[in-house]
Structure 1
Amino acid sequence: MSGSPVLITRPGSRGEALASAIESHGYAVQRLEVMRLERLPESAEQRAVWLDYDHFRRVVVISPFAAECLADALDRYWPQLPVGIDYYAVGGATAATLNETLGVKVHLPPEAAGEESSEALLRLASLSALDQQRVLLVAGEGGRPLLADTLAERGANLTRLAVYRRQPLDPEPAMQQRLAQGEYRALVASSGEILEHLARWCTEAALNQPLIVSSARLATLAGKLGFRAPVVASGATPAALAAAVVRVCDPQEADVDQDDLEKG
């Protein structure tokens, strides 16, 4: 398996960044295209939210693609960004997108949480009691209801706005064959939807290969789907996932890197 590639499932530009991070450690990477993100056509509901945007007190953005959709809409409707809104992101990539496109400060999960997840974001004190504050949650269709349900339970006057959909794709025949034969060094997945969709093509050979996931929640899901060797990365960033790939594919190199970190 030493000459086999690492398979990654992250779509779009974030997948490119992940591929570069893994390749920087000397591993071949192949993109496993099983999910496409598609913007939703602007609806009357979306227009109403954008026109009323300055009335929101807090805006929570679920992903980098949601952040891009938000920024494009605000560019059309608000040439000058409304003030007095606090922005929140589940992960660093989403925060970076908001900062780059809107120039806003973004609240992230506390560093002590050690993970990028909805659960970690909800530990922020500023989201603990919302007292009928107007909160906008910008997300894709479907997905986990945890954030929306918890914010509403905490008193938010919540609007959940879907701005994109996830379109599952069948793997190309060559990739289906790789999965059938387990011909890869590791599989990297940081989305539960992708993992559930992908599992139907994973034979016993694939289920026994290393699977890199970005959270303990995904590791639990992987176990239920039959994956026997899930490895939890320290986060969903390209660097964290690439480090987990090294840990799986070359434990000796990972130990050396960890020793260097401890000495530093």
Structure 2
Amino acid sequence: MADLPVLISRPGERAGPLAAAIEARGLPVERLEIMHLEPLPETPAVRTAWLDIDHFHKVVVVSPFAAECLAAALDHYWPQLPVGIDYYAVGASTAAILHRRLGVRVHVPSPVAGEDTSEALLRLASLQALETRRVLLVAGEGGRALLADTLAARGARVTRLAVYHRRLLDPSRSMQARLAEGNYRALVVSSGEILEHLARWCSDAALNQPLIVSSARLATLAGRLGFRFPVVASGATPAALAVAVARSSAPEEADVDHDDLEKG
């Protein structure tokens, strides 16, 4: 057991900080490389939204990669950012990219253990009464409609921009073997789309291994897919997921200062 790896499914550059947080606890990590994120070609409608971004009251960004795409577009079209826009992010990682790349103040929900980040964002007081407000939602292609539908129901005029595509990949042969044999310490997943995709390769042995998820919603989905031991982390940050991995492996080693969770 000591040399079995923790499998992580987070795509792209964001896998690095998660791997580092888990490895800092003395646990080996292997990446599944199960999803590739690709920017979408800019359509006339998307270009118009970038040029008219000063017409929006609020900009809501749903993922770190969406934040990178937004920042690249604004760097291109707006050498000086327009004022008077309120920026929102679903989590700390997305907010950090917006602040670093654009220098803007970002509204981000306070993490609540087991709560989905979209639901947490929608609890913010400034997103309750939105009559006549124009809201730009920057996201990936597809995905959940919760944010757009709820904001529209609250009176907002919502424009949803899909700026990137998620391409699911088959696990490598070695990873397919690990999933078939349950030959790993824990599996870390923070996306419902990835969880449903991975379940195709998970044998009964894998379904009995610890599954680390970032919200109660994902834990419910995991149960429907047959996973028997979902562990809900306090959030989707690397630090929060690493704490949950440690808790699933050795509960006595999972104590952590709450300040550490904010650094993810």
Query: Could you tell me the TM-score, scaled by structure 1's length?
Result: 0.95
Q: Which residue does the alignment assign to 2:243?
A: 243
Secondary structure of the equivalent of 1:10?
coil
Query: Which residues in structure 2 correspond to 1:54-93 (within 5 Å)?
Result: 54-93=54-93
Partner of 1:158: 158
Matches within 5 A, 1:24-43: 24-43=24-43
In structure 2, the CA distance between the partners of 1:116 and 1:95, relative to structure 1 (3 Å rule), is: farther
Does structure 2 conserve the Cα–Cα contact (< 8 Å) formed by 1:34 and 1:168? yes
1:90 and 1:121 in contact (8 A); partners too = yes
1:115 is displaced (CA, Å) by 4.2
1:179 aligns with 2:179: yes
Give the C-alpha shift of residue 2 in structure 1: 2.2
Residue in 1 that maps onto 2:215: 215
In structure 1, runs of 5+ residues without a counterpart are none
1:93-242 alignment runs, 5 A limit? 93-111=93-111, 115=115, 117-242=117-242
Name the amino acid aligned to 1:160: R
Deviations 1:164-202 (A, max 9, x none): 010000000000000000000000000000001111000
Q: Is the 8 A contact 1:91 1:108 kept in 2?
A: yes
Deviation at 1:132, TM superposition (A): 1.7
Match for 1:15: what amino acid? A
Structure 2 unaligned residues grouped into runs of 5+: 260-264
Percent identity reads 72
Shift of 1:4: 0.6
CA distance in 2, matches of 1:35, 1:168: 5
Q: Are 2:215 and 2:235, in contact at CA under 8 Å, matched by a contact in 1?
A: yes
Question: Which residue in the other structure is 1:3 paired with?
Answer: 3
Q: Number of residues paired by the alignment?
A: 259
Which string of whole-angstrom CA distances, capped at 9 and with x for unpartnered residues, describes residues 222-253 of structure 1? 00011000000000000000000100111121
- Classify 1:261/1:59 alpha carbon distance in 2 versus 1 (closer, same or farther; 3 Å): closer
Are 1:90 and 1:116, in contact at CA under 8 Å, matched by a contact in 2? no
Structure 1 position 59, deviation (Å):
0.2
Hey, what does 1:12 align to over in structure 2? 12
Cα offset for 1:110?
A: 3.3
Whole-angstrom CA distance in 1 between matches of 2:54 and 2:27: 47
Structure 2 CA distance for aligned equivalents of residues 114 and 197 of structure 1: 22
> Are the aligned partners of 2:8 and 2:32 in contact in 1 as well (CA < 8 Å)?
yes
1:73 is matched by which residue type in structure 2? A
1:213 and 1:241 map into 2 onto residues whose CA distance is: 8
> 2:258 & 2:61 partners in 1: Cα distance?
32
1:3: how far off?
1.3
Q: Is the 8 A contact 1:91 1:116 kept in 2?
A: no
Q: What's the CA shift for 1:161?
A: 0.3
Question: What is the TM-score when the length of structure 2 is the normalising length?
Answer: 0.95
228 and 112 in structure 1: CA distance in 2 versus 1, 3 angstrom threshold: closer
Alpha carbon RMSD of aligned pairs, Å?
1.4
Would you say the 8 A contact 2:214–2:236 is kept in 1? yes
Letter in 2 for 1:174: S
1:132–1:65 CA distance, 2 compared to 1 (3 A): same
Q: 1:206 to 1:45 in 2, by over 3 A?
A: same
Residue type of the alignment partner of 2:12: G
The answer to whether 1:22 aligns with 2:22 is yes
Alignment deviations for residues 244-263 of structure 1 (CA, whole Å, 9 cap, x no partner)? 01001111212xx25x769x
